[in-house]
């Protein structure tokens, strides 16, 4: 059983994920992540050398199947009002958010 993801690393991940975890959830999540690493580590037998190619998609995108980029013309999105209606708090067409945290730099 690996313990690749220590409690400290886990805490950092939670911060990067912008999560505030409820009581009792951290230990379960960290245990499952470490169990998953047992599977991920199977990849260690894959060589990282220049010869083994990579694939970001399974299907190669070539001229045969790739769409041509559209013309660079500005278009008004027809859904503007519907989209803005989704916001939890709206004021004069602006989405209201709390203060954006900032730090004084020395």
Using CB under 8 A, list all residues that contact another protein. Answer: 1-2, 5, 9-10, 13-14, 16-22, 25, 28-29, 32-33, 35-36, 38-44, 46-48, 52-59, 61, 64-68, 70, 79, 82-83, 85-89, 95, 97-101
Closer residue to another protein, CB minimum distance, 95 or 106: 95
Minimum Å distance from CB 68 to another protein? 8
Residue 91's DSSP bridge partners are 94
Q: How far apart are CA 100 and CA 23, in angstroms?
A: 27
Only one residue has tokens 């790739």, namely 66
d(CA 90, CA 25): 33
| Nearest distance in Å: CB 106, another protein | 21
Tell me how far, at minimum, the Cβ of 31 lies from another protein, in Å: 9
Which residues neighbour 96 within 8 Å (Cβ) at sequence distance 6 or greater? 87, 89, 90
């Amino acid at each position: 059983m690996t313990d690749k993801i220590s409690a400290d690393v886990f805490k950092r991940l939670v911060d990067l994920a912008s999560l505030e975890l409820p009581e009792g959830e951290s230990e379960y999540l960290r245990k499952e992540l470490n169990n998953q690493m047992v599977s991920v580590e199977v990849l260690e037998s894959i060589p990282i050398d220049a010869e083994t190619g990579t694939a970001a998609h399974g299907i190669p995108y070539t001229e045969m199947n790739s769409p041509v980029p559209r013309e660079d013309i500005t278009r008004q999105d027809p859904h503007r009002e519907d989209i803005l209606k989704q916001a939890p708090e709206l004021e004069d067409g602006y989405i209201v958010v709390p203060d954006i945290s900032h730090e004084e730099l020395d």
